[in-house]
Amino acid sequence: MPNYLKERNTIIFDMDGTLVDSVGVWNQVDIELIKELGGTPEDEFTVNHRRDLALAKYRTQKSPYTCYCEDLGKICGSSLSGDEIMEMRHHIAHKMICEKVQLKPGAADLVKKLKEMGKTLVIATTTNTGNMNIYRYKNQNILKALPLDDYFDAIYVREDVTAIKPDPQVHLKLMKDLHKGPSDCFIFEDSLVGVQAAKAAGIPVAAMYDRYSEADGKEIRTLADCWYDSFEEVLKNL
């Protein structure tokens, strides 16, 4: 198998579920949101699966998360609009993602090592600007371990594209902006839609284990060019 990390000069990371251990936090946000909307309590894996399906379904919409919130409101019997529910979600999420989200084990060490090797490092995420700014400027867990702006040459968020993963638009855009081609790049992803986006862009991809993606594990492993259980494993192989 090619040693992509040594051969490629541009390394691209997804954010939620890949660089940061945040998917469980987002599930707790939506569990609390369902509660406030008067819905029936659900386990986090059901919540996570519904969100993934909705974001894939609405990936070409201007605001996929608003569409997701609108659907959630209908399921819960709420009369609130998608925008109103989205505002509720932002309010619930702010404190949680500011205080609870942490980097995946080994992520900081790998990023620092790749930076020392002279790699161009990029974040390409469907996270919106507001939430990404919390990760960049407010979340002390991340700031103390790996100030993102000190290590990443470019950060692409939801507002930078018109279609989210599994559409490859974010990768096509960053390659155009950075004057790179698929043969220059390598991607770390945790989810099926992320792996699909990488493959659609023609870029080899490493699938990082995240327990919330286990339902799609077989398909992820089939599509990905390699699979890692942790960033410590990546460092060991590097």
Considering the domain architecture, whether residues 183 and 90 belong to the same structural domain is answered as: no
* Residues composing the chain: 238
Q: What are phi and psi of 207, to 5 degrees?
A: -90, 125
Considering the domain architecture, whether residues 29 and 143 belong to the same structural domain is answered as: no
In this model, does residue 1 exceed pLDDT 70?
no
Tell me the mean pLDDT in the region 121-149.
96
Considering the domain architecture, whether residues 133 and 155 belong to the same structural domain is answered as: yes
Considering the domain architecture, whether residues 69 and 141 belong to the same structural domain is answered as: no
- The helix/strand/coil state of 6 is helix
- 118 CB-near residues (< 8 Å, 6+ apart): 9
Residue 214's alpha-carbon distances to 155, 162, 170, 208, in angstroms, are 27, 28, 25, 11
Segments forming the whole domain that contains residue 58: 24-99
Q: Percent of the chain beyond pLDDT 70?
A: 100
Contact 37, 72 (CB under 8 A): yes
Considering the domain architecture, whether residues 108 and 214 belong to the same structural domain is answered as: yes
Considering the domain architecture, whether residues 215 and 198 belong to the same structural domain is answered as: yes
Considering the domain architecture, whether residues 138 and 53 belong to the same structural domain is answered as: no
- The number of domains in the chain is 2
* DSSP letters spanning 167-200: S-HHHHHHHHHHT--GGGEEEEE-SHHHHHHHHH
Q: What are phi and psi of 156, to 5 degrees?
A: -110, 130
Considering the domain architecture, whether residues 161 and 49 belong to the same structural domain is answered as: no
Instruction: Report pLDDT for 2.
Output: 74
Last residue of a domain, one of 99, 125, 152: 99
Confidence band, pLDDT 50/70/90 cuts, at residue 238: confident
Considering the domain architecture, whether residues 144 and 190 belong to the same structural domain is answered as: yes
Last residue of a domain, one of 55, 77, 99: 99
Q: Given the structure tokens 């018109």, which residue do they identify?
A: 162
Per-residue pLDDT tens for 101-121? 999 999 999 999 999 999 999
Last residue of a domain, one of 42, 67, 99: 99
Residue type, 169: Q
Tell me the mean pLDDT in the region 39-64.
93
205: domain CATH number is: 3.40.50.1000
